[in-house]
Amino acid sequence: MAWIAVITAGFLEVGFATMLKLSSGFTKLWPSLGFLVFAAGSFSLLSWSLKVLPVGTAYAVWTGIGAAGTAIVGMIFFKDQFQLPESQRLPSLLLALFC
How far is Cα 76 from Cα 81, in angstroms, rounded to an integer?
Answer: 10
Instruction: State the pTM of this model.
Output: 0.84
Q: Whole domain around residue 35: which residue ranges?
A: 2-98
Instruction: Outline where DSSP puts E strands in the chain.
Output: none
How far is Cα 68 from Cα 91, in angstroms, rounded to an integer?
Answer: 9
Residue type, 13: E
38-62 confidence digits (pLDDT tens):
999 999 999 999 999 999 999 999 9
Do the beta carbons of residue 6 and residue 45 sit within 8 Å?
yes
Count of the separate structural domains present in the chain:
1
Average pLDDT over residues 79-83: 82
* Residue 91 confidence class, pLDDT cut points 50, 70, 90: confident
